[in-house]
Amino acid sequence: MKAYVVGGAVRDALLGLPIADRDWVVVGASPEAMIAKGFKPVGRDFPVFLHPQSHEEYALARTERKTGPGYHGFSVHAAPDVSLEQDLQRRDLTINAMARDEATGQLFDPWGGQRDLAAKVLRHVSPAFSEDPVRILRLARFAARFADFSVADETMTLMRQMVDAGEVDHLVPERVWQEVSRGLMSAHPSRMFEVLSQCGALARLAPAMQSAWARAGKLIAHRLDHAGTLPLEGRFALLAAALDSVASVEAICIDLRVPTECRELAELLWSEQQLFEKTAALDAPTLIALFDRCDAWRRGSRFAELLASAAHLVPRVPLDRIVKALERARAVDAGAVAKLCMDKSEIPRRVRDARVVAVAKGLI
């Protein structure tokens, strides 16, 4: 029985990058032998165990055989006779198909991962890549993380064949969003959409987004790649702002099961982006109406996120004018205004009028 560090930890170490966690593969072992050594079984689809002290994941070396469409149709064979080379062969990219003996430091690289790291190429390990459509998403995400890596011509050809064969149609929305959201938080998110567009997957997964990318890809790429410290919600909103209608934003959010926070911010930014472009000329009633529509009174944090996203959408526009107007409007004592109203039905209008006056004084 022998354990090796595999995958991302080996790749990132060779690139001189920080290693967040380590995955291990165990050769020559059975589930019973792992349990006897104190490992805790956690895998449902194939044998994975947690180390009794470090709690790192140890998976038995395995092979996989395609049994049906999509990424659930696999038969897994994990046994003591599966070799390290066989286990590495089933992995997606050559740069992820390396292993290291931590005791000796020896590197095992049967599929040319080091070569492709040096050449900065994303290349599939074997034709088995085509059996799992999730690998298209993963490769696109790696392209966003390693923006200076190119996709091997033969790998792009294979992905296009997978799309033509309908493999991506079997992806569940939750898994698509999982990979897309991780790609959006990468250093160069635009590379993910560029790769998905080139292989045809974007048109199948999100047709409205493919249309937007074809129409304004360079503008979208610039926005995403300069998103700075924006969180996921803001980055998705920037992406969605390029769609042709708020209905398209809603449709994509439904199709990909986008979380509520991301959907709400994206819909707000799409709806208000033209108004933000005119910030310098907005009068007090218009600003108060904006605050009402966006529920800035109760959802202050979300409104701040909206402005932060808008700053990337309409650069050089004085959005601080909106921030100061909101501060003045919030300074109005609604309770004091209400006490002066004999007719309680008049309170909302009187409070709004007081806020308009307060904001207007600051705009002079």
Lowest mean pLDDT among 13-17, 217-221, 271-275, 337-341: 337-341
User: Could you tell me which of 253, 176, 242, 251 has the C-alpha nearest to residue 215?
Assistant: 242
Question: How far is residue 293's CA from residue 330's CA, in Å, rounded to a whole number?
Answer: 15
User: Could you tell me which of 146, 170, 206 has the C-alpha nearest to residue 17?
Assistant: 146
Q: Is the pLDDT of residue 8 over 70?
A: yes
Identify the architecture of domain 1-119 in CATH.
2-Layer Sandwich (3.30)
The answer for residues whose C-beta is within 8 angstroms of residue 207's C-beta and 6 or more apart is none
Chain segment 181-199, per-residue pLDDT in tens: 999 999 999 999 999 999 9
Range(s) of the chain covered by CATH 3.30.460.10: 1-119
Size of the chain in residues: 364
Chain segment 200-256, per-residue pLDDT in tens: 999 999 999 999 999 999 999 999 999 989 999 999 999 999 999 999 999 999 989
Confidence of residue 337 (pLDDT cuts 50, 70, 90): confident
Region of 69 please: left (phi>0), alpha (psi -120 to 50) or beta: beta
Give the pTM: 0.88
Q: Is the pLDDT of residue 345 over 80?
A: yes
Chain segment 46-92, per-residue pLDDT in tens: 789 999 999 999 999 988 765 555 555 456 777 888 999 999 999 99
The pLDDT, as a whole number, for residue 331 is: 94
The pLDDT, as a whole number, for residue 335 is: 87
Chain segment 250-305, per-residue pLDDT in tens: 999 998 999 999 999 999 999 999 999 999 999 999 999 999 999 999 999 999 99
Percent of all residues in the chain with a pLDDT value above 90, rounded to a whole number: 83
Q: Is residue 33 within 8 Å of 1, Cβ to Cβ?
A: yes
Q: In whole angstroms, how far apart are CA 336 and each of 254, 339, 341?
A: 44, 5, 9
Here the tokens at position 356 are 């308009």
Question: How far is residue 360's CA from residue 347's CA, in Å, rounded to a whole number?
Answer: 20
Question: How far is residue 299's CA from residue 180's CA, in Å, rounded to a whole number?
Answer: 27
